[in-house]
Structure 1
């Protein structure tokens, strides 16, 4: 019975780590999506600088 409790605790810990990793992956994915949208729309800081430089 004690071994079963240890195994359950180990599984619970692994699940907690997986959930935390999943949350981090979702945040990273959201960040990448925002960057891609900005690139597509020409709204990055670098694109703005280049546009301003070329407009002179």
Structure 2
């Protein structure tokens, strides 16, 4: 957990997030099974953000 002071700017590296071995075993290998519904339900909701997330997402 982190405390981000009000007014701070936060920049995420989606490249690194999508290759984090804490969320993705063997992150550099192509594995379409990562996206089957059963596995999607088990992972952290913000471990994969192809277009952003939350109240102010870009789409």
| TM-score (normalizing by structure 1) | 0.21
Say which structure is richer in helix.
1
| TM-score (normalizing by structure 2) | 0.21
Higher relative contact order (CA 8 A, sep 6+): 2
